[in-house]
């Protein structure tokens, strides 16, 4: 099983590397709770089309080491950079979903863009979700704390109860099989309780707004109209406004899990963006 050692603490982090070694590189950074399997509808067709698709399981997720520490944003970003360096990847398109989008942003502002040429923020939690002095329209932190407490009390129910809203299954065009939804819940349960709790706490303080203005690369921002985890106006649209060179694509009726419900649209948009057209 291919792994690399985290530059933070030596934790063994599992990665996948699909497609031709000479192909244009896309590196995928996952949502909270999920491993690289979440990107199956993007990585497989892109790899078959000649792209090199790389991803890794965040610490405490999937097949990576179950560790206690390293869930601060700097450490998580260092793990992303560690993968790029381990495989000596160049001219990368960095693709991050949800909290993974914040890891992508911090990786760039912390380590520079020498290995990266383009960025995609998919249903990102960026710039930040929670109300603050600089973001008075944000979500009441007490609501996030309540959700985090629900997770601590019964994370199985947390995933089960939240799946329909996560995928916006009650809206037209978002048909997924019960089997797929069940598999997604099971994948979420594959992350450790420690990892999930730590990332929930991270969302409470997440604020990368000042960093977005420093990203001197083309950025594609993809967001759904019905994302209840990261509402469009608080995250995707705000991120696009703060980025110097961004394109915002809004998916009608899409929720946070648009990588599944809008799989073909997302894959096509990734391919178009990576082609530079």
Phi/psi at 57 (5° precision)? -85, 120
Distance of CA 226 to the CA centre of its chain: 17
Which residue in 75, 98, 191, 246 is the catalytic one?
98
What is the distance between the alpha carbons of residues 204 and 213, in angstroms, rounded to a whole number?
22
- In the annotation, is 256 catalytic? yes
> To which residue do tokens 């946070």 refer?
256
CA–chain centroid gap for 218, Å, is 18
3-class secondary-structure state, position 247: strand
Alpha helices in the chain (DSSP H): 40-48, 73-86, 99-111, 141-153, 155-167, 178-189, 193-205, 209-212, 236-242, 258-261, 263-275
Q: Is 86 a catalytic residue?
A: no
Q: How far is CA 114 from CA 60, 109, 160, in A?
A: 28, 11, 41
| Residue 275 is a catalytic residue | no
In 3D space, the residue among 240, 199, 245 whose CA is nearest the CA of residue 98 turns out to be: 199
Active-site residue among 18, 227, 229, 246? 227
In our burial notation (b when 16+ CB lie closer than 10 A, e otherwise), range 155-172 reads beebbeebbebbbbeebe
Find, among 213, 211, 234, the residue nearest to 223 by Cα.
234
For the annotated catalytic residues, the residue numbers are 98, 227, 256
């Amino acid at each position: 099983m291919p792994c690399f050692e985290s530059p933070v603490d030596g934790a063994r982090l599992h990665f996948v590397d699909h497609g031709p070694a000479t192909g244009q590189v896309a590196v995928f950074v996952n949502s909270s709770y999920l491993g690289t399997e979440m990107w199956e509808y993007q990585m497989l067709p892109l790899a078959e089309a000649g792209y090199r698709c790389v991803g890794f399981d965040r610490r405490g997720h999937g097949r990576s080491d179950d560790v206690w520490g390293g869930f601060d944003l700097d450490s998580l970003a260092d793990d992303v950079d560690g993968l790029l360096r381990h495989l000596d990847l160049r001219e990368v398109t960095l693709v991050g979903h949800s909290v993974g989008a914040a890891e992508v942003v911090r990786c760039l502002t912390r380590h520079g863009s020498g290995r990266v040429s383009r960025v995609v923020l998919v249903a990102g939690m960026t710039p930040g979700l929670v109300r603050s002095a600089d973001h008075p329209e944000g979500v009441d932190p007490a609501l996030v704390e309540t959700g985090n407490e629900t997770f601590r009390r019964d994370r199985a129910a947390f995933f089960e109860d939240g799946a329909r809203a996560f995928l916006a299954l009650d809206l037209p065009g978002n048909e997924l099989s019960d089997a797929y939804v069940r598999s997604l819940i099971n994948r979420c349960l594959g992350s450790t309780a420690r990892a999930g709790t730590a990332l929930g706490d991270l969302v409470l303080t997440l604020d990368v707004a000042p960093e977005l203005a420093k990203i001197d690369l083309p950025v594609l921002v993809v967001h759904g109209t019905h994302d209840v985890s990261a509402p469009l106006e608080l995250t995707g649209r705000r991120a696009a406004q703060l980025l110097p060179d961004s394109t915002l694509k809004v998916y009608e009726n899409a929720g946070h899990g648009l990588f599944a419900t809008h799989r073909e649209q997302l894959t096509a948009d990734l391919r178009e963006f990576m082609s530079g057209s």
